[in-house]
Amino acid sequence: MKSYLAAAVQMNSVPDLRQNLEQAEDLIDLAVRQGAELIGLPENFSFLGDEEAKVAQADVIGPKSEQFLKTMAQRFQVTLLGGGFPVPAGDGKVYNTALLVDPSGQELARYAKVHLFDVDLPDGNIYYESQLVVPGDQQAPVYQSENLGVLGLSVCYDVRFPELYRSLTHRGANVLFVPAAFTAFTGKDHWQILLQARAIENTSYVIAPAQTGFHNSRRQSHGHALIVDPWGGILADAGEKPGVAIAAIEPSRLAQVRRQMPCLQHRFFV
C-alpha cells in the first residue's frame, strides 16, 4: 500500500440518466485534476427520484451505469466505485448494486446492498426500499489492492450495522467505502457520527460519497461527503453543494493508529 489521494464525490442526482452521468463525469474529472487515484460516486449516482420510475427503467439504467464506470475508470486511469445503481433482479425488482472498477476498466468487486431502508420518518417521508429492491445474499466484499490498501464495500443504510464493518476488517479491510444518499432529516444528526464511529472502531479510513439537495419535490439528501481518518478525524467535507472531498490515504497513519489503539487484536467475539 502506498500513500495516495482519494476522492468522495458529492452529487445532486435527478431522474435523468444522461444529466446525471454528465455531472458524474465532470466531478470525476475534477477529482482527477486534483490528483485522486481512488474515486467513489454516491448511491443512486445515475438516477435518483421516483423509485418506481427507476425500477421501470432499470434495464437501461443498469447496463449504462456499469459501462459508464468502466469507461470513466479507463479514460481517467483511476480505480472507481459506483456506489449504487439498479440491476434487474426479476419480478419487477432490482438489486441496489455497488461496483468497483480498476483503471483498465475491469470489474474488481460487486456488492448488492443487504440492508434495505424501510423507515417512516417523523418529517413525513416514507421509505420502503424493500418494496422494489431485493437484498443481496452475499456478504459485503473486500478487495486487496497492491497500491490502494484493502478496500471494503458497503452502501448507505449499511452504516447503521457495525457488524458488517467488523466483518470487513476481520477480512483485512483498512479503507471502508460508504457511498450514500442519506436523507436530510437523519443526516443532520447521524451521518457524520456514524461514519466517525465506523472509522474509530475499525481503525480504518472511511470514504463516504454522498448525495445532496433536492432530487424531486419531496426527497432531499444531507450532503457532506466525507473522508475520515482511522482516529475519527474529518479529513475532508464536501459541504452542501455538488463537488468532491479529497484527502490523503496514508499507510503510515493507519499503522500508527493501529499500533496506538490495537483494539482489532483484542477482540473477544469474532
Query: Which residues in 235-260 are b (16+ Cβ under 10 Å) and which e?
Result: bbbbebebbbbbbebbeebbeebbee
Residue with cell 500500500: 1
Residue with cell 484527502: 247
Is the CB of residue 10 less than 8 Å from the CB of residue 225?
yes
Contact at 8 Å (CB) between 71 and 78? no
- How far is Cα 164 from Cα 115, in angstroms, rounded to an integer? 10
Grid coordinates belonging to 146:
497492491
**SS3 annotation, 214-237:** ECCCCCEEECCCEEECCCCCEEEE
C-alpha 182/C-alpha 216 separation (Å) is: 15
**Dmax (CA) of the chain:** 51
Nearest CA to 84 out of 155, 24, 19, 161 is that of 155
| Active site residues per annotation | 43, 113, 156
What's the rounded Cα separation, in Å, for the pair 63 and 153?
20
Give the end-to-end CA distance of the chain in Å, rounded to a whole number.
Answer: 26
